[in-house]
Amino acid sequence: MPTAQAARRARELRERLRAAEHAYYVLDNPVLSDAEYDRLLRELAGLEEAHPGLRTPDSPTQRVGGSPSERFEKVAHREPMLSLGNVVSDEELDEFDARIHKLLGTGADAPVDYVAEPKLDGLAVELVYQGGRFVHGATRGDGVTGEDVTANLRTVGALGANRGVLQALPAGAPPRLEVRGEVLLQKAHFEAMNRRLLAAGEPPFANPRNAAAGSLRQLDWRITATRPLSFIAYEALVPGARPWATHWEKLAALAALGFEVNAENGRCRGLAEVKAYRDRMAARRFELPYDTDGVVVKVDDLDLRARLGAASKAPRWAVAFKYPPQEEATRVTRIWASVGRTGVLTPVAEVEPVRLGGAVVARATLHNEDELRRKDIRVGDWVLIRRAGEVIPEVVKSIPERRTGEEREFAFPAACPECGARVVRQEGEKAWRCTGAACPAQLVGRLRHFAARRAMDVEGLGERLCAALVERGLVKEFADLYRVRFEDWQQLFSRPRKERDEGEAPPELPEKAAQNLLDALARSKATTLRRLLFALGIPQVGDATAGQLARAFGSVAALLDADEAALQAVRDVGPEVARQVRAWTGEPRNRAVVERLLAAGVEPAAEAAASGGPFAGKTVVLTGGLSTMSRDDAKAAIERRGGRVSGSVSRKTDLVVAGDEAGSKLRKAGELGVRVVDEAGFLALLGE
C-alpha cells in the first residue's frame, strides 16, 4: 500500500479505535464488538509495522485501555497495569512459545512452565493494602493512571456474591501489598439484576462486563452496594521485595490471605499442556458461573519474567488466547416475523453473515415487540449480536452512533404471514399471536396437542410422526388426520429408526402399527365435548376450563355462537378468558376447522352439569397417589360431577382426598378442620 494511502487509513483506524475505547472504557457502552476492535487494531499494527513512520506515541497500539474518566480522582499506579497481547490460533500460540525460548536462549526441547487461567470478562482493578488495611483502589484506566473508586470497591462482595474485596488482611501479610484482579458479575447475578432493572422501568445492561463496569463506576457508592459484584484476584506485588519464586506460589499466597482465586487455574508443563488446558476450558466455558472469552497464559517462574520484561503495552511473558468471538457487530438487512408452534410471532433479524463461536450466523432473534422497541432495532441498523454455546443468536443492542438516517422501523403484520389469519396482541401480553387453528407454522405442535391423552387421546401419534405428516403434505389441519390412508400410515411407519418416536412400531411391523393408529383415530371420534374443546387449542382454555364450557353450553354450535357476556357467565371464566375465547370462535378459519372435524365423523357428547351429589359446587384437593386411577382421571371425574379441583388447601376447601404418601396438604387439612377421605371413601363418593 502506498505511504499516503497507508497514512490515511492509519488515521481512520486511530480515530475509530479511540472512539471505541472511550465508549467502552469511559461510557461503558461499546460501539464495536471485541472481535471487530481486535481486527482494526491488528490492521493498524500491520500498517505501522510496514510503515514505521506512521507509529505515534499515542497510537492505540502503544497504549493500554482508555483514558480515565474525569468524574473520578486520578490515581497513578506504582507499576503500570499492562494489557495482554492476543493470539487466536495454534500457530500464533506456537510463535509466542518460540519467542519465549528465543528471548531466554533455551532450546525448544526444554519446556517452559506456564500458569493458565480463564480470561475473565470484567473490569481490571488494583487494591492497595497498607499495614494489613485496605487503603485505596483504582481501575486500570490507561494502564499508568486509573480512577479512584475506593468507596465503591469497599462494597464489592457485600451481597455475598463471593468473598469480594477484603477490608483487612490476617497477621503476617506484607506491610504493603498491591493486589490486582477482576471485578465481575456472575451470570446468575447479572440476569437477576437485569430483571430488577426492567421491573423498575430502567434499561438493562447489555452484558455482564458492562454491568460490572457501570456498577463499579457509580458516583454514589450506595448504588454500587446494591449490585452483586464479585472480585477474583490474579496478581500481587510487594514493593521492593519478591517473596515468591513462582506465580503459582503467589496465587496460593493470595488464597491463604483470604482472597478469591480462580479455582479453574492450572499449572502447565510446556505448551502441549497449555493447549490441552485451553481445549478443556473451551468445552466447559458455558458451564462456568461467569463469562470468559479465552485463556491467559503466563510464564510461571518470576525470575524468567523479569528477564523477559515488557513492551510498551504488554508483558512479553504473557498472552491471551481468545476463543472465536461470541459477540460481533453486523448490519440488519431485514426484520420479519417467524410464527412458532404456539402461534407466537417472534421478530427475527436477518443480518450480514458473521462468524460467531465457530459458526456463520445470518439471523438472530429479537424475542418480542417490547424487546424490539426497547433496544430500538431498525432495518439497516448496525447491531451487536451474541451467540453463547448452543443458544440461538440474539441481538444485544443497536449502535445508533453508526446510523445514516436511512434505517426503518419494523411493524408487526396484521395478518399471519403463514396462513393469513388475524394477528392479535392481548392486553398485558408481550407476544403477538396468530389466531388461525389451521396455521401451518403451528401445525405440528397443534397436532401433538390434539392427539394428547386428555384431548382426543390418539395413542401412538407422537411428535415426529406429526412432523412427518406435515412434511409430506398429508395433513394440513386436524380433520385431515381422519383421511390419511392405510398405505400412507404404512409408509410413515417404515421410516428409519432415527425418525421415529420412542414407542413407535419398528420397521418390521408397519402394517400392524398403521392399523393400530387407524383404530385409535376411529375410537377418538366418539369423544366428549370437553376433550374436543381442549384439543382445539383455544387460547386460555385448559382442561378444567374446557369442562366448564362444555357443561355450560352443551354443544359446539352453542359455544361458537356465544358472546363475551355469555362466556363470562360460565364458572371460572373471567373477562380476559372470555375475550380470548370469543376472538378464537369469531375467526372464520377456526369455525371452518371445527365444521370439517364434525364432517369427518367426530361426535362430541355433551356433558350435563351436575345439579347434585357430593361434589357439586365443592372445592376438592387431591394429595398422594391413588392405586385405582391417575390424578388426571380423578380430577376429570370430580369435575364431571360439578366439583372443582384446587392445588392447595385453604379454609375454602370442602374436601381433601388423601392417597398413599400424602404430605403437607393432609397436615394442612387437619389444622384447618377440612374433611378428609381416603381412596376407598373417594370411590364411594364417586359412586353416589
Which residues does the annotation mark as catalytic?
119
The kind and range of the H/E element at 232 are: strand 230-237
Per the structure block, which three cell numbers stand in for 291? Answer: 463469562
Is residue 423 within 8 A of residue 432, CB to CB? The reply is yes
Residue that the C-alpha cell 382442561 belongs to = 543
Quick check: helix, strand or coil at residue 414?
A: coil
- Nearest of 17, 39, 85, 116 to residue 325 by alpha carbon: 39
Give me Rg for the CA atoms of the chain: 33
DSSP 8-state symbol, 505: P
Give the Cβ contact number of residue 150 at 10 Å: 19
What letters, b where the CB count within 10 A reaches 16 and e where it falls short, cover 288-325? Answer: eebbbbbbbbbbbbbebbeebeeeebbbbbbbbbbbbb
Compute the C-alpha angle 381/382/383, nearest 5°: 105
Distance CA 623, CA 666 (A): 7
Is residue 33 within 8 A of residue 48, CB to CB? The reply is no
10 Å CB burial of residue 137 (0-12, 13-18, 19+) is buried
Compute the C-alpha angle 522/525/530, nearest 5°: 145
Is residue 100 within 8 A of residue 315, CB to CB? The reply is no
Sorted by sequence, the CB contacts under 8 Å of residue 408 that are 6+ apart come out as 378, 379, 380
Is residue 396 within 8 A of residue 386, CB to CB? The reply is yes
E strands in 382-453: 382-386, 394-398, 423-424, 432-434
Sorted by sequence, the CB contacts under 8 Å of residue 587 that are 6+ apart come out as 421, 422, 435, 436, 437
- Whats the size of the chain, residue-wise? 688
